[in-house]
């Protein structure tokens, strides 16, 4: 018998935030609010909100469709319209959702875009995705914000200047024209003050996994924790309030010596501490998570929670340099890091959070994550002499989630971890 989902206070607050933003979207045409479709990695929500416009994130719509068991049908409809089986399933789910009326998670229609903001951050698929959206919404202006890839393992002044030039000459003029509002640097600075506070909280929250037992799961629960900064609340006072409350909640759990809350209650014994690379599967999210917490496995760090921004290496937005801050934020997203930078970041997580093992969830249709994962595994195994594991699933295509295959691989992985712990104790 399936138990009721146990919800933390922060999850309830977040649900109210999500309901509110989708309600605002459903009435956008009546209120005159302009709507901007953009992406999570490199999401410059602060700039969008400074123009009093509303953001929409196609990947968020797709993952929510996956969790509501609707993505399978949307994907089939997109394939009937000529999209290949190998195309990113976020794209196909998004297209299928639009074909079927573009109804959001609250049951209300998501309005058509007034502006397509292509913030291209490390994922070439984004460019093809927006070509598709441009065909679906003919006549809607497109603003391109191209983010240089960190091939040289660092951000140079030239890269920052290149992005600021695009913001000034390409993005802001189109936002002014669509919104009818002039760009206000002071308004953007106020947004960035809030973002800076949130970024500090994000690090404090995910650093709590250094405790034993870890008070949170930084992958399955972590995707809820990063929700507000990835669904349109970056730069808002509401985001600051949410993360203040979440941090207090987690500190209380540490004080009580409690482990993470799962859909079926608190993990009673932390047996394994893992770092996970790659996105989760959304169509079987609860079943997927249960495979871990049934074995006492807690994820103490994950790459996916950094997809909307990496703050681990000290980056923070600077409200006194607003456009430069937005540029550097975009370049600091996980999918925009070089493979060597990813290895260094994951190595830091494994070491600092005292992980017992490293696991890759390789996503069939996501090249931005999957490319290079075997190399990452091999390097971490060699450098840190840590057990590594590999499983495969997909983002929102239920055809590519095999419960029995994943369960068998995880059981073998956990047995390897158990054996290693026994040897180290001797």
Between CA 145 and CA 118 the distance in angstroms is 6
Secondary structure element (H or E) that encloses residue 388, with its range: strand 388-393
pLDDT score of 125: 84
Q: Please write the tens of the pLDDT for every residue from 36-81.
A: 999 998 889 999 999 999 999 999 999 999 999 999 999 999 999 8
Is the pLDDT at 345 greater than 80? The verdict is: yes
Burial letters 87-121, b for 16+ CB under 10 A, else e: bbbbbbbbbbbbeeebbbbbeeebbebbbbbbbbb
Q: May I ask the CATH architecture of the domain 9-187?
A: 3-Layer(aba) Sandwich (3.40)
Average pLDDT score over the chain: 92
**What pLDDT is stored for residue 1 in this prediction?**
46
Strands (E), 24-64: 35-37, 54-56
Three-state SS at 340: helix
What's the confidence (pLDDT) of residue 85? Answer: 82
pLDDT over threshold 90, residue 108: no
Half-sphere exposure in the Cβ direction for 382 (13 Å, CA): 7
Tokens of 317: 């937005």
Calculate what percentage of the chain has a pLDDT beyond 90.
78
What pTM was computed for the model? 0.94
């Amino acid at each position: 018998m399936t138990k009721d989902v146990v919800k933390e206070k922060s999850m309830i607050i977040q649900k109210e935030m999500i309901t509110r933003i989708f309600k605002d979207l459903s009435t956008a045409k009546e209120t005159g609010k302009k709507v901007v479709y953009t992406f999570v990695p490199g999401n410059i929500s602060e700039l969008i909100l400074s123009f009093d416009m509303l953001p929409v994130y196609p990947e968020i719509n797709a993952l929510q469709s996956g969790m509501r068991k609707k993505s399978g049908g949307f994907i089939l409809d997109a394939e009937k319209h000529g999209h290949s089986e190998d195309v990113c399933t976020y794209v196909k789910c998004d297209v299928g959702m639009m074909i079927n009326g573009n109804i959001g998670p609250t049951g209300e229609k998501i309005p058509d875009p007034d502006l397509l903001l292509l913030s291209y951050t490390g994922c070439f698929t984004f460019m093809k995705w927006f070509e598709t959206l441009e065909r679906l919404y003919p006549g809607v202006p497109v603003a391109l914000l191209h983010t240089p890839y960190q091939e040289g393992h660092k951000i140079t002044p030239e890269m920052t200047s290149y992005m600021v030039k695009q913001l000034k000459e390409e993005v802001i003029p189109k936002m002014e024209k669509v919104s009818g509002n002039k760009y206000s640097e002071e308004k953007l600075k106020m947004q960035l003050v809030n973002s800076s506070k949130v970024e500090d909280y994000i690090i404090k929250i995910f650093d709590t996994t250094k405790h034993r037992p870890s008070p949170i799961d930084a992958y399955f629960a972590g995707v809820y924790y990063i929700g507000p900064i990835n669904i349109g609340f970056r730069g808002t006072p509401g985001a600051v309030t949410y993360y203040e409350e979440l941090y207090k909640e987690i500190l209380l759990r540490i004080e009580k010596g409690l482990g993470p809350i799962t859909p079926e209650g608190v993990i009673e014994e932390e047996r394994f501490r893992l770092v996970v690379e790659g996105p989760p599967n959304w169509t079987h999210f609860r079943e997927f998570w249960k495979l871990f917490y049934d074995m006492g496995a807690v994820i103490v760090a994950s790459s996916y929670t950094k997809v909307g921004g990496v703050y681990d290496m000290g980056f923070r937005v600077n409200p006194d340099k607003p456009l430069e801050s937005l540029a550097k934020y975009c370049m600091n997203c996980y999918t925009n890091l070089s493979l060597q930078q990813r290895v260094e970041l994951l190595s830091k997580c494994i070491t600092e959070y005292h992980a017992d093992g490293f696991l890759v969830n390789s996503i069939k249709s996501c090249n931005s994550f999957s490319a290079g994962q075997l190399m990452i595994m091999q390097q971490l195994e060699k450098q840190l002499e840590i057990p590594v594991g590999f499983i495969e699933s997909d983002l929102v295509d239920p055809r590519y989630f095999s419960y029995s295959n994943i369960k068998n691989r995880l059981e073998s992985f956990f047995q390897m971890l158990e054996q290693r712990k026994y040897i180290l104790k001797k």
